[in-house]
Chain A
């Protein structure tokens, strides 16, 4: 089954404790993104990657890091989480940035930073 998976689905942590949210897709997609979803703000892009070893900032990159060492994986790293990073996070992938490629989303990770 074609899908994007994320782990963990739920995470409660404390300020300053480094964490990683994993993302993996099995569709051989080149383009992957991370979004955060907050009430009234919709989906805002954090980082994106156009291919292996190619990453770039989205609209709200502060406090986040990503890596793309393999095509299928795109982990999101919070080196020193803060309470304002409490949010619902989605990983997404699509074939490339072109017009005809549907974007697939993972199931989401709900993060709470105390």
Chain B
């Protein structure tokens, strides 16, 4: 069935370093890939998304890249800050418009 794999499950970085989270998807027809940030005690919030006709998208310190051939997409956070600490989820839109989520990455940014 449709599947999204996300790695790593936990990531610890020093403040100011970069963080990279990677996802792979199984449905070659997927054409929309959002990333969500979930802070403690809150629901996930959309932080950036990318569509299949674009290879890269950037919004200030966050960027997402997409390799449709390899069915990979990644989230890059530069100059990390303590407030970036959260759980991050990737997702891919599958058949029928259903969002398939990865397992989540717990990012910890140490001051």
Residue numbers of A with Cβ under 8 A of B are 4, 31, 35, 40-45, 48, 58, 90, 92, 96-99, 102-103, 105-108
Contact = CB atoms under 8 A, between A and B. Distances in A.
B34 A48 contact: no
B14 interface: no
Interface of B: 6, 9, 31-32, 34, 36, 41-46, 49, 51, 89, 93, 96-99, 101-104
A42 B31 contact: no
Given A90-B44, A99-B31, 8 more contacts: A41-B103, A42-B89, A43-B44, A96-B97, A103-B99, A105-B36, A106-B43, A107-B43
16 contacts: A40-B9, A42-B6, A42-B101, A42-B102, A43-B89, A58-B98, A90-B44, A92-B43, A97-B97, A102-B46, A103-B46, A105-B45, A106-B43, A107-B41, A107-B42, A108-B41
B96 to A, nearest CB: 7
A95 to B, nearest CB: 11
Contact of B101 (A43, A97, A102, A106): A43
Contacts of B96: 97
